[in-house]
Amino acid sequence: MSDGEFKCVTIVGVGLLGGSLGLAMKARTPSVRIFGVGRRRQALDEALACGAIDEAYLDAAEPAGRSDLVVLATPVCAFEQHLRTIAPVLADGAVVTDVGSTKDFVVRTAGGTLGKAGAFVGSHPMAGSEKKGVAHASADLFEGATCVITPIPETPPTTAERVENLWRSLGMRTLRMDPRDHDRAVAAVSHLPHAVSAVLATLPEQRYMEVAATGFRDMTRLAAGDPEMWRDILVTNREAVLEALDAMAGSLSRLRDLLDRSDAAGIERMLAEARDRREQSNAGQ
Is pTM, for the whole model, over 0.95? no
Res. 1: pLDDT tops 90: no
Are the C-beta atoms of residues 97 and 122 closer than 8 Å to each other?
Answer: yes
Residue 198's pLDDT is what?
96
Domain boundaries 182-284, CATH class: mainly alpha
Best CA proximity match to 180, nearest among 247, 105, 232, 80: 105
Residue 220's pLDDT is what?
95
Q: Where in the chain is the domain with CATH 1.10.3660.10?
A: 182-284
DSSP string, 220-276: TGGGGS-HHHHHHHHHHTHHHHHHHHHHHHHHHHHHHHHHHTT-HHHHHHHHHHHHH
**Which 3 state secondary structure label does DSSP give 190?**
helix
Q: Where in the chain is the domain with CATH 3.40.50.720?
A: 8-177
Distance between CA atoms of 228 and 223, rounded to whole angstroms? 12
Contacts of 37 (CB under 8 A, 6+ apart): 10, 11, 12, 13, 14, 56, 57, 58, 59, 60, 63, 82
DSSP string, 20-59: HHHHHHHHH-TT-EEEEE-S-HHHHHHHHHHTS-SEEESS
What sign for the dihedral angle of Cα 247, 146, 223, 255? Answer: positive
Best CA proximity match to 25, nearest among 3, 47, 45: 3
Tens of pLDDT, residues 215-264: 999 999 999 988 999 999 999 999 999 999 999 999 999 999 999 999 99
Tens of pLDDT, residues 128-158: 777 788 989 999 999 999 999 999 999 999 9
Residue 285's pLDDT is what?
62
Superfamily of structural domain 8-177: NAD(P)-binding Rossmann-like Domain (3.40.50.720)
The model's confidence at residue 4, banded by pLDDT at 50, 70 and 90, is low
Residue 2's pLDDT is what?
44
Give the containing element (helix H, strand E) for 84: helix 79-86
Distance between CA atoms of 254 and 249, rounded to whole angstroms? 9
